[in-house]
Amino acid sequence: MAALGDVFRRARGRTLTAFRQGDEYQWKGPFYFIQGADPQFGLIKAWAVGNTGSGDDEWGEEIKLTEQAVQAINKLNPKPKFFVLCGDLIHGMPGTQWRKEQEQDLKNVLKNTDQDIPLVFVSGNHDIGNTPTRETIDNYCKNWGDDYFSFWVGGVFFLVLNSQLYFDSSKCPELKQAQDAWLNEQLAAAEQHKCKHVIVFQHIPLFLRTPDEDHDYFNLEKSVRQEIMEKFHKAGVKAVFSGHYHRNAGGCYRGLEMVVSSAIGCQLGEDKHGLRVVLVTEEKIVHRYYSLDELSSQGLEREMVSGTS
């Protein structure tokens, strides 16, 4: 069994070491994975007391919710191919008081995930800061692996992006340029390998409901968004899965589906704490959001795992 640190840092050298890439270029039949977002240890208390800056000194509720998520995932049969967490792993921003304890407590919960279900981590604004720096990104990478990378599973190409570089890269413009150049290479490689689907994970949604909606805290600035949407459309990206909004939302742009999933942790709308189950078939990508209670007590409907192994 791999050393514990490796479980959290499987994204190295811009790929995910949990899968042997040479074995994964070919389509092998339908499979599914689990998407979670925003466990954000500390936000429930901070939100309740109206102090999101420094009111995050308790996170017992988030520990219980994330434990429930892990236990529900471990019971699923057949097993999901992986469990991806789309950012805001903890609430404490870089340099804040409770950050290290929050990270350690999250790792103590996630280490109980079935060792046959790889963990995939996406960086959020609370993980690297609203305006990231080389230092905040380096610190994230030491804890959770690369901030952007790609991997193949069963003929499907997955890209994990650092969306904070699209939100505000003013303190590290060279890192945004590096991700842009890498992304262009990756999309060209995906076309060359004739993959079945291309799927993207990032923390901040491109948009919440419509591609031309106004820019606010929860989506990307319109000109940046348009450029990325066009790039993804031309490359045949089927879906982008995000978090950040702490509510379920989504929409479409020229065949590209934007899927915004609510949180494992603090809810800011009417949704329940939950996870999204994503079934990948030869023709399409089907997904459904389950509350943690529902997934724990009832598991998956047959059509969400039909034909998978």
How does pLDDT run across 185-207, given as a tens digit for each residue?
999 999 888 899 999 999 999 99
pLDDT band at 1 (very low <50, low <70, confident <90, very high): very low
Is residue 149 classed as helix, strand or coil in its secondary structure?
strand
User: How does strand 149-153 pair with strand 156-160?
Assistant: antiparallel
Backbone angles phi and psi of 182, in degrees to 5: -60, -45
pLDDT band at 5 (very low <50, low <70, confident <90, very high): low
How does pLDDT run across 15-66, given as a tens digit for each residue?
999 998 888 999 999 999 999 999 999 999 999 999 999 999 999 999 999 9
pLDDT at 203: 98
Torsion of CA 80, 124, 140, 289, to 10 degrees: -10
For the chain, give the percent of residues with pLDDT over 90.
92
How does pLDDT run across 165-191, given as a tens digit for each residue?
999 999 999 999 999 999 999 999 998
How does pLDDT run across 265-277, given as a tens digit for each residue?
999 999 999 999 9
In the chain the first and final C-alpha atoms are separated, in Å, by 23
Query: Which of 42, 83, 56 minimizes the C-alpha distance to 275?
Result: 83
Is residue 134 classed as helix, strand or coil in its secondary structure?
helix
What mean pLDDT is predicted for residues 202-219? 98
Q: Would the pTM count as exceeding 0.85?
A: yes
Cβ-proximal residues to 54 (8 Å cutoff; 6+ apart), any chain: 46, 96, 97
pLDDT at 307: 74
pLDDT at 303: 80
Give the chain's length.
Answer: 309
Q: What is the mean pLDDT of the chain?
A: 95
Give yes or no for residue 293 having a pLDDT over 70. Answer: yes
Give yes or no for residue 3 having a pLDDT over 70. Answer: no
Residue 234 CB burial class (10 angstroms; 0-12, 13-18, ≥19):
exposed
8 Å CB contact between 224 and 172? no
Query: Which of 81, 78, 83 minimizes the C-alpha distance to 35?
Result: 83
pLDDT at 2: 43
